[in-house]
Amino acid sequence: MPWELKPDRPIYTQLIEQIELMIFSGVYSLGSKLPSVRDMAQEAAVNPNTMQRALAKLEEDGLIITHRTSGRTITEDANMIEEAKTKMAERQILDFLEKMQLMGFKQKEILAIINDIAKGMKE
């Protein structure tokens, strides 16, 4: 999964979101060991301090566990992962709905658009 960082938002918040996506999608599975901060920073083409800040936030949120002598791993708590995944989805949906309302769409119109798009999606 390539790192996609945009200049319009703080880099560390984008790193947090992308690492969360890697966890939620299974790129980093439950209990798996993460690469070193330096390796992750080099791969993402960011300063190691910025990557460290993102990882510290993910640790604070409980998604990552730091082991003093053996680096970092993803939590093995599947419920915690599922809760974080749901929160991210809710944030994305709220952002989307706010933008749609700013464009002048009403609830029924938004739902109709979503239904039309969903019909074309694969299950």
Q: Which of 101, 121, 119 is CA-nearest to residue 109?
A: 101
N-terminal to C-terminal alpha carbon distance within the chain: 22
For each of the chain's 123 residues, which pLDDT tens digit applies? 678 899 999 999 999 999 999 999 999 999 999 999 999 999 999 999 999 999 999 999 999 999 988 899 999 999 999 999 999 999 999 999 999 999 999 999 999 999 999 998 877
What would the two tokens of residue 105 be? 């769409």
101 and 57 fall within a common domain: no
CATH of the domain at 15: 1.10.10.10
The three-point CA angle 63-64-70 to 5° equals: 160
Each residue's pLDDT tens digit, 16-32: 999 999 999 999 999 99
- Whole-number percent of the chain with pLDDT over 70: 99
Range of the domain at 114: 79-121
Q: Which residue has tokens 């966890």?
A: 23
Q: Which residues contact 12 (CB under 8 A, 6 or more apart)?
A: 50, 53, 54, 57
Instruction: For residues 58 and 66, give the distance between their C-alpha atoms in angstroms, rounded to a whole number.
Output: 10
